[in-house]
Homo-oligomer: A and B are copies of this chain.
Amino acid sequence: MKNADLRNLAPEIEAFVHERDWDQFHSLKNLAMALSVEASELLEIFQWMSESESNQISKDPKKKEKVEEELADIAVYLTRILQKMDINLEEAIAKKLKSNAAKYPVSLSKGNSKKYDDLG
């Protein structure tokens, strides 16, 4: 896994927004919307591929770059929300993994993708 510390780019993101006086548009509602729009742009890249074609996408440098751009957009809005709400993302992930482990015990969910309310 390569570099992915959102704190490292947070000051540049904040400066970018501040210089353009864009904080007025960055309500949490709008940031959540922007994140969701970018996630759909990522999805659009894979939309008509088969699953196995999608796994080969890195072989196409143009498409790989498009994916990187959309992931960057997603990460930028994610960072903005974390900044504004003062959330500790690492703690939030650790907590969610723990809660998911309880919802999806290995014994019941191994090798199947059923939702927890359809399990056991």
Chain A residues within 8 Å of B, Cβ to Cβ:
1-10, 12-13, 16, 19-22, 24-25, 27-30, 32-52, 54-55, 57-58, 64, 67-69, 71-76, 78-79, 81-97, 99-101, 104, 106, 109-111, 113
Contacts and interface: CB of A to CB of B under 8 A. Distances in A.
A5 B79 CA distance: 11
Contacts of A87: 2, 67-68, 71
Interface of A is mostly: helix
A4 B3 contact: no
A113 B25 contact: yes
16 contacts: A1-B79, A2-B89, A2-B91, A4-B7, A19-B106, A21-B110, A32-B45, A33-B46, A35-B42, A35-B43, A38-B39, A57-B85, A68-B92, A69-B95, A75-B92, A76-B96
